[in-house]
Amino acid sequence: MSISGSIEYDLVVTNGICVSASDVAAYDVGIKDGKVLVLAPSGSLAEAATRRLIDAEGGYVMPGGIDCHVHLQEPSLFGDGCSADNYETGTRSAIAGGTTTIVAFAPQQKQHGSLLAALEATHRLAAGNCYCDYGFHLLVSNPCSSALADLQRLRADEGVTSLKIYMTYEALQLRDDQILSTLLAARQNHILTMVHAENGDVLRWLTDQLEARNLVAPKYHANSRPPVLESEATNRAIALSSLVADTPILLVHVSDPGAASRIREAQTQGQPVFAETCPQYLFLTRDSLDAPGFEGAKCVCSPPPRTEADQRAIWAGLRNGTFAVLSSDHCPFRFDDDVSGKKTCVSATYPVGRFRYIPNGLPGIETRLPLVFSARKLELTKFVEVTSTNAAKLYGLYPRKGALLPGLSDADLTIWYPQGKEPNLVLTNAMLHHDVDYTPYEGRRVANWPRYTVLRGKVVWDRDRGGIVGQKGDGQFVKRGTSSLANVWGVVEEAGPFDVEAL
């Protein structure tokens, strides 16, 4: 309280245009104890008692970005070492790009099985190291009964309410019966299953075919994973989910319009099928894999970037609601790194490298919001919906995250430059805060960039005064509830348990 007895805020943001998933309106934001306390008429808090005042000068003020598909310090599937960013550098990069919450993966150790042990090990990597708030999904590669038995405690005690499975990658690929067992256990425990849908067997066969013809350069990564590989696996995942009494699934990093159409069809039929896409499928094409020398390796991710026509279809899927969320799938490997670099597969025998051994994945946690915001292809409300609000609902963080609801929401904000002060940048890797030696978006123009990032009321990114002004350790683990998007578990409850006799 101030001397007059009125409230003293910790932070006031005045003169901003607040954007939610449903509205765009001028409000001042009053923040106290890490929470949004009030949204007040524009300018009305300009003179309020506050420890800090930010004049947004007419810039957009949004709920902080939420990126629920992030790989940090994960063992490489392509040799020794780990993905490039750890919890410190990855989350530092997140706040510099306007993201205030991430959900990263806790990989199960295939031999040990225990999901709780995987969670504990990942907590050790993250604790005290994060610049933004964070949660975990379990990455399940061995769905034995003892591992699946951990799901109950994960949800009830640990605040982990999602898992990811793979239909590809030799080390991770599940067979259909394993997928069914996982889906059933997830259904019983109200855990959302994220599915990487590519047909791993077909991919292996095509890769062998290409290698037999000595077609091994990075550009052939796209030939080894044509769209049908993705649409077939997507269709199969939807079929398996439907078989287990409509168990909710989320198709991650969708790149193929055929897969998107199948998803939309399932949604239209009322199946609990959600989807995610990523900036690489909006801004890169398969031509990026054909850069001179071995540079194409910098854009090797799975599924691969596709064509410009496909990009247009993916943008349309964001606008029409097929995709609930737009995440980064930040999974960086350095280009030059003796242990786990994208270039390590270049050898005397294969001077052009072999795409089969290029670690898959791209950096993108920091560029996600600026790239998509600058493209101006989504309504502002849709932008907030797919980059923040829906992620919060889908992964059980709403309304604490993903909204600016007085009394309910954490004061996590992304504040953009106003018109006339937009920085209009050319992206270079040197300006980013990840621990990676390249960005696939080098040289691309972006019209705007988050000016401030606020985490639970604390300014952690101030682009004009110091850049990163938060500290590692500011970020806290967030326990998540179950998904609230589309009342997904309510529908499951109403449907009753899976009954094999009813098939």
Instruction: Give least dist CB 103 to ligand URP, A.
Output: 13
Among 383, 267, 390, 369, which Cα is nearest to 325's? 390
Nearer to ligand URP, 75 or 481 (CB): 75
Binding-site residue total for ligand URP (CB under 6 A)? Answer: 9
Nearer to Zn ion, 20 or 241 (CB): 241
Out of Zn ion, ligand URP, none, which partner does residue 360 contact, by CB within 5 to 8 A per kind? Answer: ligand URP
The answer to the question of residue 71 lying near ligand URP (CB under 6 A) is yes
Specify the residue, 56 or 194, whose C-beta has the smaller distance to ligand URP.
194
CA atoms in the 13 A half-sphere facing the CB of 398: 20
- Parallel, antiparallel, or unpaired for β 133-139 and 162-166? parallel
- Least distance (Å) from Zn ion to the CB of residue 171? 13
Binders of ligand URP in range 401-460 (CB under 6 A): none
Report the nearest approach of ligand URP to the CB of residue 143 (Å): 17
Residue placing its CB nearer to ligand URP in the complex, 233 or 331: 331
Query: Which CB atom, from 221 or from 480, has the smaller least distance to ligand URP?
Result: 221
301 scored as a contact of ligand URP (CB under 6 A): yes
Least distance in angstroms from the C-beta of 253 to ligand URP: 6
Shortest CB 290 distance to ligand URP, Å: 18
Distance set, CA 385 to CA 17, 321, 382 (Å): 16, 10, 5
Secondary element (H or E) of residue 315? helix 308-320
Q: What minimum distance in Å lies between the beta carbon of 255 and Zn ion?
A: 11
- Measured from the CB atom, the residue of 253 and 458 that comes closer to ligand URP is 253
> DSSP characters for 219-286?
THHHHHS-HHHHHHHHHHHHHHHHHTTS--EEE-S---HHHHHHHHHHHHTT--EEEEE-THHHH--G
Residues forming a β-bridge with 469 = none
Q: According to the binding rule CB under 6 A, does residue 329 interact with ligand URP?
A: yes
* Interface pick for ligand URP out of 196, 298, 368, 393 (rule CB under 6 A): 196
Residue 276 engages ligand URP in binding (rule: CB under 6 A) = no
Query: Is the Cβ of residue 180 or residue 301 nearer to ligand URP in the bound state?
Result: 301
Selection from 167, 302, 336 nearest residue 227 by Cα: 302
Residue 330 makes contact with ligand URP by CB under 6 A: no
Q: Is 253 a binder of ligand URP (CB under 6 A)?
A: yes
Which residue number, 11 or 68, has a Cβ lying nearer to ligand URP? 68
Asked whether 14 and 27 are in contact (CB, 8 A), the reply is no
259 near ligand URP (CB under 6 A): no
Q: Name which position in 302, 322, 344, 414 contacts ligand URP (CB under 6 A).
A: 302
- Give min distance, CB of 225 to Zn ion, in A: 12
Q: Residue number with the shortest CB distance to Zn ion?
A: 196
* C-alpha 60: how far from chain center: 22
Give the HSE-up count for residue 298: Cα atoms under 13 Å, Cβ half-sphere: 21
Nearer to ligand URP, 126 or 301 (CB): 301
Q: Is 66 in the site for ligand URP (CB under 6 A)?
A: no
Q: Which residues bind to Zn ion, rule: CB under 5 A?
A: 196, 329
Alpha-carbon span 407 to 409, nearest angstrom: 6
Amino acid letter at 466? G
Distances (CA, A) of 352 to 212, 214, 349, 358, 479: 15, 10, 9, 11, 46
User: For Zn ion, which is the closer residue by CB, 246 or 329?
Assistant: 329
Q: Which residues contact 362 (CB under 8 A, 6 or more apart)?
A: 280, 298, 299, 301, 329, 330, 331, 332, 440
C-alpha 226: how far from chain center = 23
CB of 146 to Zn ion, least distance (A): 25
Which among 243, 262, 371, 252 is positioned nearest to 313, based on CA atoms? 262
One-letter amino acid of 89:
T
Given candidates 135, 361, 363, 450, which one binds ligand URP under the rule CB under 6 A? 361
The entry of ligand URP, Zn ion, none near residue 301 (CB within 5 to 8 angstroms by kind) is: ligand URP
**Encoded amino acid at 125, one letter:** L
Interface with ligand URP includes 227 (CB under 6 A)?
no
Where residue 214 falls (left for φ over 0; alpha for ψ -120 to 50; beta otherwise) is left
Counting every residue, how long is the chain?
503
| 85 or 246: CB nearest ligand URP | 85
Residue 286: contacted member of ligand URP, Zn ion, none (CB under 5 to 8 Å, by partner type): none
In the complex, the residues that contact ligand URP under the rule CB under 6 A are 71, 196, 253, 301-302, 329, 331, 360-361
